[in-house]
Amino acid sequence: MKCIICKSEDVVKKKVEEEIKKGKDVVFVPVETLVCQNCGEKYYDRRTVRFLEEIEEKVKKEKVTLEAVGRVLKVVGIH
């Protein structure tokens, strides 16, 4: 397929991590989706979109197993 944004034909299936917000936390969800190698635009098919919605619901209800993989930090001062 062709990228809608940059018209590149270099669109390949890749494993990416989609971000879901859980209050102040960020949950990464590994999914396989089409990604434009040129501009980075991601294309989700309906199945993936539904899967992400399902996961988001499960995350809200805490029906998933989560593992801490790092901390989310914020810049509050510069020195």
- Confirm if 28 and 45 have CB atoms less than 8 A apart: no
Residue 8 or residue 66: which is nearer to Zn ion going by CB? 8
DSSP state of 53: H
- Confirm if 39 and 8 have CB atoms less than 8 A apart: yes
Residue 27 or residue 34: which is nearer to Zn ion going by CB? 34
What does the block give as tokens for 63? 């029906």
Binding site for Zn ion (CB under 5 A): 3, 5-6, 8, 36, 38-39, 41
Residue 5 or residue 66: which is nearer to Zn ion going by CB? 5
Task: Kindly state the smallest distance separating residue 16's Cβ from Zn ion, in Å.
Answer: 14
